[in-house]
Structure 1
């Protein structure tokens, strides 16, 4: 029977009593695994000891002996070379006594080395004979001792013949020299024969060690395969037990969790055991039921309130506390001329246009982490700030949303014919956006019967005033000085003016939002730079330079509305000069 089923509306049964705890099952499995590990460890240790002993035999005896025998041969050949040099030096008319002495010293030194190497080899053979751990045929190795002694005797005979030979050479006895030279040749051949015999014997021992190592390797391989098969069989048995008693219920629970993750909240898991997993399964079923209820609430109210606010209200009530002060960025956008558009539409047509407009324009706000506060006629109010976005990022995110919203306006214009059912006489669609960053009061505001999570304060009013100020400047995107200060590294802007809005006595600098950083066209940046230079002249009351600068802006873009506005304002200021304490700010009369 499938352990997963859909809810049938029945009440959950009480959680079963835990009669067979998982700890008991796991303890039994652990004991079985420990026993298997102990067996494997013991057999592996035995193999390791055998391999270790074989390696020690090679490292401590065979290899050092081979090295000593090779060194003996090298030193004897070096002696022969020094002997030949001695003979050659004595044939010169003027004998180099120092050179003779040096060659004789080197000859004697090599002879001494050979004696030491023979002694070291005999000592190794003696140690191997009494070794308790080395793995080799000690009787065979013991035969090396007389062979090495034969090498020693052959070397001594060679040494004696060389001394006699040198003495006769010194006394100038050619016949004796000739005879002794033949003796030296024979003694050297005898030495080579003896040393080769030792070398062959060592090679035999080394090959024997290799054969034994190969045998140990094959034995270890057979043992490993056997243990692998045994472990595989035991593993399958343990896996079967685990699957039946432990893993299968967990798998069913995991499958249910994945179903919930994919949005299936109708899933229920049947309880088939009497352990902790059964209690966990019951808890899971209750959790799914609660999630289903919360999801229904979120789905219903998420169309009216931002889903993140609904989630917060359902989970931890973090938005039900008293209002608090926070730094946020407030966003206002308005569809220009919508009232005149509505005059030619039926109520159903107005709703269709607005719904499609709000659908398109809301996407950038949510994609950039903003909270849509409310729809006011054809206007959208939104805000960014903690806990939905970080304290430093929200001005830039709001600017990105505004730019993206403005970019989607062309898409909305293309959709208008199908929405309105018109092919000609379509209204001109434009949007104005205002952004302001500052301190607001945020919280659930309303009556006992109806509340909304919203923001209030001067910053909200300022954002609304900036949206309206677009009409006077002929712009679409205006941001406050604080927004510009916190987002200037992320966007391109143009300082537009210093204004006093209705309801605020202090002047504020306002900026036109142009594009994301490094994405503005060169002509736009050139116009921006010229305009800001002209604005500086304007604030210095240098009307002539300011006029020339704004006319230069129109040379870059003949349709730049702010430049035209300032040229008109300059004419007014020439006729009506400002007061001596004029701060360069312009007062707006429209809200």
Structure 2
């Protein structure tokens, strides 16, 4: 109905005009009360809430200012300095610097407007204290930051990086103090908003009582009409309060039905827009959870300094690659290849996550993952990585059967299998990248070694190879077999490498014989007793025909018999390719 789309003042005036004969005096009183409600609602909508919004944005502006300052410093630290870029960063910093005061000044103006308005029963003393606190907070911030900024620029120009870093930390502390002051002010301001809302509700209820008296005098029709109008006023307010409580509880799925076009309707519409934005932000967070491991996100939230400064930690790194991928991809359509790779990554990522590993990235058909603090304890990481590798290898037979069915073909163009390399060592963890995009990852010799061990599986005909440090950390918790002493590309000192055969106590009799004969052959091989080594490796092949490491070392023995190794040979093999 058109009447319900009018302002609150016009609604009440409409009732008074309709019943002018019976309630002339009462209508005047109702008009005054409805005007008071309109004033209170106008003050709540156009002063209290915007003032609170300015204070909230002041926090955001302080963070933007800190970010702009860091960008300006980073630009200045480049060698040689790009003066044009530095000038742009300086301008950006000055703009964000002014915005803090602009937001604070906007809040103060609105608060002073509330205090100066004699028509509303606001707590002027409390508002005056809030206004003074805002001015004091901004003044203190400006005084401290101007001094620190000048000091920082001098330190950066003088390449005094340690002092500059300390000054930046002090600036961050000043910013945090400012944000704490603003947070406290916002809390007090929110109490004033709730007080103003209660005043609106109180005056609305008074208007309802007056309308009730009018309806008694105006008989049944007037009473029903007034009841409908008053219900149209109070229901949106109650819905708004209920919706506010839902948001306070962290639930963003409830919107308010906008049934009027008055001030309350506008407030309800603004509330609904806010809810939609909150839902959108939540969807973004859930979406990015598929691209960034939630444990990494939570770890960075708990310790944000790790992302900025980086840390050195002992971690276990895994590289997993699909053998035969190149030949397989050549005979497949792009859609089929994407379907196969998505299924392969899904199957192989499960054991990593179930064993508390962090998937760092997918590189073509390879998976890079890591285990280590702060996500798990240091003494667990090697074992969990080994268990993940065993679980992944156990998925291969089922995967080989699933892929043809997935593509609707009788057989895959090429057989697929796994090659896994695992290494443990000290790495650097932190956010690596550019200003446009960053990635929380690990870097170091252990990462390179794990990648090289994954490739070494192709040489030895194995699935899972681990470094010596990883084997020492696992101990007897898994069944291991020493394969060789190997120096991969990029390393001069050789180290023992091991194959993960199974879980502890799960070896078959044939596997036990294989490990025993292979160990005897390996000892003879390193001692240059090649005849004894050949006998032992052949015995290993009798226990497990097709054993890759035994075949590989038998081939080397044949080469050494034609071209014997040097007298000082240390029994190690050096890879000359990645």
**Length-normalised TM-score, structure 2:** 0.53
Distance in 1 (alpha carbons) for counterparts of 2:483 and 2:435: 44
CA drift of 1:355 comes to 0.6
| Match of residue 360 from structure 2 | 373
Candidates 413, 425, 448, aligned match of 1:438: 425
Compared CA separation, residues 522 and 567, structure 1 to 2 (3 A): same
- In structure 2, runs of 5+ residues without a counterpart are 1-48, 53-188, 196-241, 257-274
CA drift of 1:297 comes to 3.8
| Match of residue 405 from structure 2 | 418
1:584 to 2:575 alignment: no
Distance in 2 (alpha carbons) for counterparts of 1:474 and 1:414: 22
CA drift of 1:268 comes to 9.9
| Match of residue 201 from structure 2 | none
| Match of residue 334 from structure 1 | 321
CA drift of 1:454 comes to 0.7
1:495 to 2:482 alignment: yes
Candidates 519, 522, 525, aligned match of 2:512: 525
Compared CA separation, residues 316 and 510, structure 1 to 2 (3 A): closer
Retained in 2: the 8 A contact 1:309–1:319?
A: no
Distance in 2 (alpha carbons) for counterparts of 1:483 and 1:518: 19
Distance in 2 (alpha carbons) for counterparts of 1:316 and 1:564: 50
Show CA shifts across 1:151-204 (max 9, x none): xxxxxxxxxxxxxxxxxxxxxxxxxxxxxxxxxxxxxxxxxxxxxxxxxxxxxx
Retained in 1: the 8 A contact 2:468–2:498?
A: yes
1:458 to 2:467 alignment: no
Which secondary structure state, in structure 1, belongs to the residue aligned with residue 307 of structure 2?
coil
CA drift of 1:315 comes to 5.5
CA drift of 1:311 comes to 2.9
| Match of residue 386 from structure 1 | 373
Compared CA separation, residues 455 and 402, structure 1 to 2 (3 A): same
- In structure 1, runs of 5+ residues without a counterpart are 1-9, 18-251, 270-287
CA drift of 1:526 comes to 1.9
Compared CA separation, residues 570 and 425, structure 1 to 2 (3 A): same
Retained in 1: the 8 A contact 2:534–2:554?
A: yes
Candidates 461, 475, 498, aligned match of 1:511: 498
Which secondary structure state, in structure 2, belongs to the residue aligned with residue 391 of structure 1?
coil
Residues 168-207 of structure 1 mapped to structure 2, 5 A cutoff: none
Distance in 2 (alpha carbons) for counterparts of 1:571 and 1:541: 12
Show CA shifts across 1:386-438 (max 9, x none): 01111100000011111111111222222112322212454211110000000
Which secondary structure state, in structure 2, belongs to the residue aligned with residue 489 of structure 1?
helix
Which secondary structure state, in structure 2, belongs to the residue aligned with residue 428 of structure 1?
coil
Distance in 2 (alpha carbons) for counterparts of 1:505 and 1:321: 33
| Match of residue 190 from structure 2 | 14
Compared CA separation, residues 494 and 268, structure 1 to 2 (3 A): farther
Retained in 1: the 8 A contact 2:403–2:412?
A: no
Candidates 560, 564, 574, aligned match of 2:551: 564
1:348 to 2:335 alignment: yes
CA drift of 1:568 comes to 1.4
CA drift of 1:370 comes to 0.8
Higher-Rg member (1/2): 1
Residues 255-270 of structure 1 mapped to structure 2, 5 A cutoff: 266=253
Retained in 2: the 8 A contact 1:301–1:310?
A: no
Retained in 2: the 8 A contact 1:313–1:320?
A: yes
| Match of residue 397 from structure 1 | 384
CA drift of 1:524 comes to 1.0
The more displaced of 513-522 and 464-473 is 513-522
Retained in 2: the 8 A contact 1:256–1:268?
A: no
Distance in 1 (alpha carbons) for counterparts of 2:283 and 2:303: 17
Distance in 2 (alpha carbons) for counterparts of 1:375 and 1:457: 18
The more displaced of 574-583 and 472-481 is 574-583
Show CA shifts across 1:251-304 (max 9, x none): x9xx989x97xxx653799xxxxxxxxxxxxxxxxxx99996774343121222
Compared CA separation, residues 541 and 362, structure 1 to 2 (3 A): same
Compared CA separation, residues 422 and 544, structure 1 to 2 (3 A): same
Distance in 2 (alpha carbons) for counterparts of 1:552 and 1:423: 38
Retained in 2: the 8 A contact 1:370–1:383?
A: yes
Retained in 1: the 8 A contact 2:355–2:387?
A: yes
Distance in 1 (alpha carbons) for counterparts of 2:517 and 2:277: 62
Runs of 4+ in structure 1 deviating by more than 6 angstroms, as ranges, are 10-13, 288-294
